[in-house]
Structure 1
Amino acid sequence: MLDFKLDMDRMPLDDWGTPENIGAVTVEGAVKISGKLLFGTLETPVSGGIYAATQGKYRVTYPFHEHATLLDGELAITDETSGKTVVYGPGDSWIIAKGATVLWHIRSPHIRKTYLAAAVEQ
């Protein structure tokens, strides 16, 4: 079992570079990303861990289904198909379907989330 709590110690994360390293496109700012894979691998159908990013905006088309919970910071996610924007804070969660194109707007100096990714068909 992996447990994630808002008041947990923040483990060091690995430098993942820029959003372009995960197939995204930076729209605004010098966004840097980091993370730690804690469950599965990049080759398994299901994986998860912790992800962090610095302030800015980037666009990404999801290559997997994702459930995530924000631990730190403030983030607005816009579904570019519907135009709907939702602002998230610590403790808030979302699900994004594989194939969805979204705009991430990291409003705080940084965000940190937990995530579970499923690269399987619906």
Structure 2
Amino acid sequence: MFRLARLHRLLGLALAALLTACGGAQPVDAIEAASTTAALDAEASPTPMIVYSPRGTPVSEAGFVALGAPEALGGKVLEGTPEIFARIDYAKGPVAAGLFKATTGKILIHFPFTEHATILEGEVSLTDEAGNSHSYKAGDSYFIRQGQVIVWEVKGKQVIKSFFNTVEAP
């Protein structure tokens, strides 16, 4: 709540400065801005839960951000030209949760975090160092520990998963 109030206060002050610079309203006193923000926060309802894939509808791809080359996450492209994207809906300390999307291709990845994931759309085949392989489709979940080496192969156009991961101390 403190972060949200601080963000609102900063945005309010920035808007006031912009309006003043453009010849508009005079800046609001910082104390008044803070009390206004507190009043707005008190009236705000709790954050609603997120439903990633309501039955029968595709996953909304709003908010996805390109992550760059798979190598940025400890991966090595083995086939194709896969692109990877994510949307972080929660992050605190070593924990993150949200959505991840990858396009067709095959990547060898040294998992930089421990992850529980559920496939929402598409199909992906995962193979571990021991040669164990499994294909996952919408509704399937998996658990991978930090440091495991996995071959991640997207079948079809793309795969979208929800994830919850944590980075463990070395």
**TM-score normalised by the chain length of structure 2:** 0.65
Tell me whether 1:36 sits opposite 2:84 in the alignment. Answer: no
- State the match for 2:147 in structure 1: 99
Q: After TM superposition, where is structure 1 displaced by more than 6 Å over at least 4 residues in a row?
A: none
Q: Are residue 46 (structure 1) and residue 107 (structure 2) matched?
A: no
From 54, 65, 75, the counterpart of 1:24: 75
Q: Percent identity at matched positions?
A: 31
Give the aligned residue type for 1:27.
Answer: L
Which structure 1 residue ranges, 5 or more long, are not aligned?
none
Residue identity matched to 1:97:
R
- The aligned amino acid for 1:95 is F
Aligned to 1:109: 157
Q: Which gives a bigger RCO, structure 1 or 2 (Cα 8 Å, sep 6+)?
A: 1
Contact 2:78 2:108 in 1 (8 A): yes
Q: Is the 8 A contact 1:30 1:56 kept in 2?
A: yes
Instruction: Name structure 2 gaps, 5 residues minimum.
Output: 1-48
SS in 2 for 1:20: helix
Aligned length: 118
Once residues 118 and 2 of structure 1 are traced to their aligned partners in structure 2, the CA distance between those partners, rounded to angstroms, is: 20
Amino acid at match of 1:25: K
| Shift in Å, 1:37 | 0.9
TM-score in terms of structure 1 length: 0.88
CA distance in 2, matches of 1:76, 1:14: 23
> In proportion to residue count, which structure has more strand?
1
Q: Tell me: CA distance 1:70–1:111, structure 2 relative to 1, closer, same or farther (3 Å).
A: same
SS at match of 1:17: coil
Residues 1:87 and 2:138 aligned together: no
Cα drift, residue 5 of structure 1:
3.0
**Paired residues of 1:6 and 1:91 also in contact (CA < 8 A):** no
More helix by share: 2
RMSD: 1.5
